[in-house]
Amino acid sequence: MEVKIDPQWKKVLQKEFSANYFQQIPHHLRTEKSQGKIIYPPGSQIFNAFDTTPFDKVKVVILGQDPYHGPGQANGLCFSVKKNIRIPPSLINIFKELKDDIGLSMPSHGDLTHWAQQGVFLLNASLTVRAGEPMSHAQIGWAQFTDAVIRTISMQKENIVFLLWGRFAQNKITLIDTTKHFVLQAAHPSPLSAHNGFLGCRHFSKTNEYLVGHKIEPIDWTI
């Protein structure tokens, strides 16, 4: 399968794209579509995180679980939605923390493309999902692929900030060389858990303090 993706990522992940497990993913998606299943995000946006944040631009990694599974929500960037879509509860809590941490007012939309363009790699562990069925594509090969992505970033880059929110993301710490990267962990921003340590974590200011301390341009967290 020919993968349409940013050339830098295509080069560093070539081994994964040619692996048998990866070849099965498009077959699985085509089969489901032929059965009338609706899959998010649209095909052109499955690799949006990679296309918006080329490999050499990555400064920060935020890891999500899988795409939003409601109509029109997913845009290929974790936690992000298209501009005309209602802001989901987890993202509202992210914006609340931004306000408390660095004083940003609540945005009018939830499109995080501006972050991604600056080097915030917004990666979901699964890059697709069936409509209305969270985690429905967790076992079709995406997890193996995105684990390899995290491992590749860890091995080939240095001084990356990894923001691991919630137990699922925190389990990925085994893929990261913590001796040369900065890992921040907190509860998931979901309304079910945000009050257990996400709100008040100050990850956004801590991220920029680390970047500036390593002579790396900080992130403008406005959207």
Q: Which residues are catalytic?
A: 66
Distances, alpha carbon 190 to alpha carbons 64, 94, 166, in Å: 11, 9, 9
C-alpha–C-alpha distance, residues 121 and 36, integer Å: 32
Q: Judge contact between 135 and 68, C-beta under 8 A.
A: no
Residue among 124, 130, 116, 131 nearest 150 (CA):
124
